[in-house]
Amino acid sequence: MSFFKKLKEKITKQSDSVTEKFKEGLAKTRDNFSNKVNDLVARYRKVDEDFFEELEEILIQADVGFDTVMKLVEELKLEVKKKNIQDPHEVQSVISEKLVEIYQAGGKSSSELNIQSDSLTVILFVGVNGVGKTTTIGKLAHKFKSEGKNVLMAAGDTFRAGAIEQLEVWGERVGVDVIKQGAGSDPAAVMFDAIQAAKSRKADILICDTAGRLQNKVNLMKELEKVKRVIEREVPGAPHEVLLVLDATTGQNAMIQAKTFKEATDVSGIVLTKLDGTAKGGIVLAIRNELDIPVKFIGLGEKMDDLQEFDAEQYVYGLFADLVEKEED
């Protein structure tokens, strides 16, 4: 059975609304990437070296990342040889299969969050300004709230003017309280207050914002270490997640930010925002592969329910939806 067929069967078993979100949110990447692959397949009569070279170029242009592209194409070549594939059309399904495999390779691929079932879960958000951190915190608070959880937010970005107010706006929108102090106050003190509040209100989840100053890595490290130390001391085993928010539209810049944050703190997962705003959605694969950090959520729009748990199969379906749908039953 072809991979497209298997994918079609799997996707039809999943929620239509999730599938629609992935499909809509990845429309720009699909138009860019899949159309180029379709065009490539139509131009070649057989799968040869030139075919693979052009494919490499298409993947690199979609921000898949050089190392990941090399690995992917190497595996594709082996598979094509093994299955004795001559017709370029047949390669499309194999490409999509390899994309899922590449993402899932290495084990730590689950997008599931480490949520404590019977005690407070603390989630720390890190990332530079403007990447969509506040929006993501708001969306995640909304998600937990609609699952019936008791949620609190901590306004730990005391550095950027307006950050506290912006979080409060989201708090009002989603009906979640924000624990704050004045601008310029010590973020670790805000965390301490927020944890005490979370304990006394028996909150299930505390979501913490932090300032994302990258200009000075030493300061960034010191601040994050201090914030983490307070959290660890007050809630053993916390923070349960440290989520780094990256803007997918910034391409290689996002990769550089990820490397810096990875050196500064233990990042447990990535949230990749604004994937709907880029034609280079291949960055998901580069991040997963080159940083070895799972992508836990992706932002596919500005609305409250546009934050989706990352799923490699839905993602690849979003990239090749037209072809998968055409697949005969």
List contacts with ligand GTP (CB under 6 A). Answer: 127, 129-135, 160, 163, 166, 212, 273-274, 276-277, 299-302, 306
Q: Which one, 32 or 135, has the nearer CB to ligand GTP?
A: 135
Single-letter amino acid code for the residue at 162: G
242 assigned ligand-binding residue: no
Q: How far is the CB of 306 from ligand GTP (least distance, A)?
A: 6
What Rg do the C-alpha atoms of the chain give, in angstroms?
A: 21
Nearer to ligand GTP, 223 or 306 (CB): 306
CA distance 275 to 283: 9
Specify the 3-state DSSP secondary structure of 10: helix
**Measured from the CB of residue 132, what is the shortest distance to ligand GTP in angstroms?**
3
| Bridge partners of residue 309, in order along the sequence | 297
Q: Which is nearer to ligand GTP, 60 or 214 (CB)?
A: 214
Q: Which two tokens stand for residue 22?
A: 């992935």
The annotation status of 237 as a binding-site residue, yes or no, is no
The answer on whether 29 is annotated among ligand-binding residues is no
Alpha carbon separation from 28 to 16, 24, 38, 255, 271 (Å, rounded): 20, 9, 15, 20, 19
The reply to whether 212 sits in an annotated binding site is yes
Closer of 211 and 293 to ligand GTP (Cβ): 211
Closest approach, Cβ 209 to ligand GTP, in A, equals: 7
How far is residue 176's CA from residue 94's CA, in Å, rounded to a whole number?
45
The SS3 of residue 121 is strand
Q: How far is the CB of 251 from ligand GTP (least distance, A)?
A: 15
Q: Is 274 annotated as a binding residue?
A: yes
Q: By the 8 A CB rule, do 18 and 314 touch? A: yes
- In sign, the C-alpha dihedral spanning 302, 19, 288, 242 is positive
Helices (H) and strands (E) in the chain, counts: 14, 8
CB of 26 to ligand GTP, least distance (A): 12
The reply to whether 177 sits in an annotated binding site is no
Cβ proximity to ligand GTP: between 120 and 300 the closer is 300
How many C-beta atoms surround the C-beta of residue 132 within 10 A?
22
- Residue 68 marked as a ligand binder: no
Residue ranges for the binding site for GTP?
127-134, 209-213, 273-276
